[in-house]
Amino acid sequence: MDIIKAAASRYSTKAFDAGKKIGDEQIEQVKNLLRLSPSSTNSQPWHFILASTDEAKARIAKATSGFYVFNERKVLDASHVVVFCAKTAIDETHLNKLLEQENADGRFANQQAMAGQHKGRSYFVNMHRFDYKDAQHWMEKQVYLNVGNFLLGVSALGIDAVPIEGFDARILDEEFGLREKGFTSLVIVPIGYRSEEDFNAALPKSRLEFSEILTEC
């Protein structure tokens, strides 16, 4: 599937077929989509939970209780569920880990290039930490870049998905001990294959016209 067809055909799946499972080979591709997403200055301030078993999905579904119960079946019936999490702080330890990985992957021609990368990334990170004081918001933006990349990517793989913000992050964070590990949950994305009962599958896609959203110059 080409990328425009993937963008045109994807939609927010409202009901999954609980009997259909994503194969292991495609799950490896799904995992690579998470890892290969772009982020500002290659900061990668994220962590993911990939649930494949009924038990694991039930743990995530605890966060869809009460007011958010309308999302429970999406989590339980999906083949797999991905939880997108953001770091709660970005420090020198993380910046050095990024630099070491980039060096191991051969991104630097010499020590000068490596030092330049560290200086440049540290500048922007510290700008959000100390000047704008919006580091948490900035890191969450990077996670949402990943979510967008992921939704388009799984559509290209022929997999249905729905991004969910309607859940209790406190419950989910506690269930997986995320805050103690330096993360917090942002978005739940169940993935799998649509049910024949999914009303949203047959509805036309609706977007504003180019005249409303695009200025060509």
Catalytic residue among 57, 74, 87, 140: 74
The upper half-sphere exposure of residue 178, i.e. CA atoms within 13 Å in the direction of its Cβ, equals 24
Q: Determine contact, residues 159/80, Cβ cutoff 8 Å.
A: no
Catalytic residue among 133, 165, 181, 197: 165
**Best CA proximity match to 33, nearest among 18, 50, 15:** 50
Catalytic residue among 14, 57, 87, 140: 14
Q: Is 181 assigned a catalytic role?
A: no
Phi-psi region of 109 (alpha: psi -120 to 50; beta: other; left: phi over 0): alpha
Please give the DSSP secondary-structure letter assigned to residue 205: P
Q: Is 216 assigned a catalytic role?
A: no
**Best CA proximity match to 183, nearest among 64, 62, 46, 91:** 46
| Pairwise CA distance, residues 153 & 67, whole Å | 30
Q: Is 102 assigned a catalytic role?
A: no
Which residues belong to the active site? Answer: 14, 74, 165
